[in-house]
Amino acid sequence: MSDLADLTLAAAAGGLRSGDLSAVELLEAVHRRAAMTEANLHAYLTLDREGAARAAVGADAGFKRGADLGPLQGIPVALKDNMVTRGLETTCSSKILAGYLPPYDGTATTRLRAGGAVILGKTNLDEFAMGSSTENSAYGTSRNPWDPDRVPGGSSGGSAAAVAAGSAMVAFGSDTGGSIRQPAALCGIVGMKPTYGLVSRYGLIAFASSLDQIGPLARSVEDAVAALEVVGGYDPADSTSYPGAVPDYRSGLESGVSGLRIGVVTELNGAGIEPAVQAAVNRTLDQLENAGATIVQLSLPSVEYALSAYYLIAPAECSANLARFDGVRYGLRRLGENVEEMMSNTRAEGFGPEVTRRILLGTYALSAGYYDAFYGQAQRVRTLIIRDFQAAYEQADVLVSPTSPTTAFPIGARTDDPLSMYMSDVCTIPSNLSGDPAISVPVGLDDAGLPIGFQVMAPALGEPVMFRVAAEVERLAAFGVRAPLASSEVG
């Protein structure tokens, strides 16, 4: 490969340790790529050139001293702009946080810095991570490196576009209903949502606290593993953090799928899935079977209700989480004759339509007289979904489905119809409700040359088997195609 910006993290990490390349060179290559692609893609909201340069110099000095801080040392990484970074503008793509400079680093950011990562900047997202296309950003939509007239998916669309285009080697996003996996699928890269609690949420600006998880977007399964190793693990600052040790994910990556039982979820395959997407998924299933896996068909009846439950639980939690944006301590303020008016004017002006809609929905779903019929019932349905998954994992080691029912859709195609936009997440939402890990791996292109993602789901803390299957899917699919925009000729 001629351009350093196109290296996988694993290859770059090797080069940094052998002395074949430096973190500064790597950063320069990625910056050159960003300079060419950003005008088209708008993956970033903020590029921190000075901070990144300092980190790269520091990483190189570390290598010279023989200090090895782990797999991300010297690697240029991008952070979704809902991850708090001290002194670096953090907006959640919302007007209400324009110019906000957080006085602290989130745990993931702290661990990345401690691990010698070179933080490039902050990537675009749907405002407060609410959306599936990045069109809900107050600062302009990001575009898909495979076709700039199409969305990169969302809400971590900026992170996905950057990794696919080579303007970041790896990126982090957050996944509440599919916000890492769906854009990864639409941009032809790997995206992974860890088990709830595996990565600390401290410093992740909350959308729906019981569903949010930080995870990596990367060019390979191995790269995703490396990124997760750095940010994962117990954090006492997050009460919902998993208190155990992070297991070894790498040893199984070469083990193949022989002897594994792979469950095809009836409710997430077939109906409502674009034929080209389903065909690619079926082809992958055949390959897995040939590679020695047993394919079993499984029904999870309650999963049909997942989308409905999600659109009660997530807005309810968001209505409280976003109450703190009131013009008192930080962010936007609009004048008002008294404090109530000031807050109401600030919030009406500061939040975009999708966020406003979800706050209204959630406020209603929690209000007196409706709580039990809506929020309470959704939480009971959540219990049933968890039970269905537990039963399914008695019969299968992993479950699979398409990541997204469709490939990347044109910009503007779904903005007027919230429900059709919400359908983008129909395959990814169940894992958020159950708290289980899931990963999207690119397995092919449709007729329009747009990438298709294959989703592997595993039980809670089942990352080792999930990565093992995903690595085999990656080998079998031999996807290996780069986004057309990820080349020096385009700009």
Partner 1 sequence: MPVDIDIAKVARLARLALNDEELAGYRQQCEVILEHAALVQTLPTEGVTPTSHPLPRTNAFREDVITECLDREEVLAQAPERDGDYFLVPRILDEP
Partner 2 sequence: MGYEPVIGIETHVELTTNSKMFCGCPADFGAPPNTNTCPVCLGLPGALPVVNGTAVEYAMIIGLGLNCEVAPRSIFARKNYFYPDMPKNYQISQYDQPLCVNGHLDVETGAGTHRIGITRVHMEEDTGKSTHVGEGGRIQAASHSLIDFNRAGVPLMEIVSEPDIRSAEQARAFVTELRAAVLRLGVSDAKLEEGSMRFDGNISLRLEGSEAFGTKVEVKNMNSIRSLQRALEYEIERQTALLEAGEPVVQETRHWDEEAGTTSGMRSKEEAFDYRYFPEPDLVPVAVDHQWRARVADSLPELPAQARGRYIEMGLDGPVATVISRDIEYGSVFEAAVAAGGDPQTVANWLTGEVTALVRRTDLSLAAGPIDGASLAELSAMVSDGRLSASAAKDVLAGVAAGEGPPAAVAEQRDLIQVSDTAALEPVVDEVLAANTDAIQKLRDGDDKVIGFLIGQVMRATGGKADPGAVTELIRSKAG
Can residue 323 be called a binding residue for partner 2 (CB under 8 A)? yes
Can residue 239 be called a binding residue for partner 2 (CB under 8 A)? yes
Give the interface segment with partner 2, choosing from 95-103, 294-302, 403-411, 465-473 (CB under 8 A). Answer: 95-103
Minimum CB–partner distance for residue 212 and partner 1 (Å):
11
Degrees (nearest 5) of the Cα angle 200, 78, 204?
30
Based on the residue annotation, tell me whether 155 is a catalytic residue of this protein.
Answer: yes
Contacting residue, 15, 270, 336, 484, with partner 1 by CB under 8 A: 336
Based on the residue annotation, tell me whether 179 is a catalytic residue of this protein.
Answer: yes
CA 465 to chain centre: 20
Half-sphere exposure of 435 (CA within 13 A, CB side): 16
Tokens linked to 200 = 């600390």
Q: Which of 159, 167, 179, 200 is catalytic?
A: 179
CB-based burial label for 475 (10 Å; 0-12, 13-18, 19+):
middle
Based on the residue annotation, tell me whether 80 is a catalytic residue of this protein.
Answer: yes
Nearer to partner 2, 300 or 306 (CB): 306
Measured CA to CA, the distance from residue 236 to residue 24 in angstroms comes to 34
Contacting residue, 58, 153, 157, 203, with partner 2 by CB under 8 A: 203
Contacting residue, 100, 270, 276, 415, with partner 2 by CB under 8 A: 100
Which of 8, 14, 469 minimizes the C-alpha distance to 254? 469
Residues contacting 28, CB < 8 A, separation 6+: none
Can residue 332 be called a binding residue for partner 2 (CB under 8 A)? no
Give 240-288 as a DSSP string. Answer: TS--SPPPP-STTTTS-STT-EEEEEGGGSSTTS-HHHHHHHHHHHHHH
Q: Are strands 451-457 and 438-445 parallel, antiparallel or unpaired?
A: antiparallel
Contacting residue, 324, 380, 417, 491, with partner 2 by CB under 8 A: 324
Can residue 125 be called a binding residue for partner 2 (CB under 8 A)? no
CB 451 within 8 A of CB 442: yes
Q: Which of 80, 200, 302, 424 is catalytic?
A: 80
Minimum CB–partner distance for residue 320 and partner 2 (Å):
5
Q: Which of 133, 142, 155, 487 is catalytic?
A: 155
Measured CA to CA, the distance from residue 238 to residue 234 in angstroms comes to 8
Can residue 371 be called a binding residue for partner 2 (CB under 8 A)? yes
The interface mask with partner 1, positions 375-404, x = CB under 8 A, is -xxxxxxxxx-x------------------
Contacting residue, 97, 170, 443, 473, with partner 2 by CB under 8 A: 97
Q: What are phi and psi of 379, to 5 degrees?
A: -70, -30
Q: Would you name the residues annotated as active-site residues?
A: 80, 155, 179
**In the complex, which residues of this chain contact partner 2 (CB under 8 A)?**
82-84, 90, 92, 97, 100, 102-104, 106, 201-206, 208-210, 236-240, 316-317, 319-320, 323-326, 328-330, 339-340, 343, 363, 366-368, 371, 375
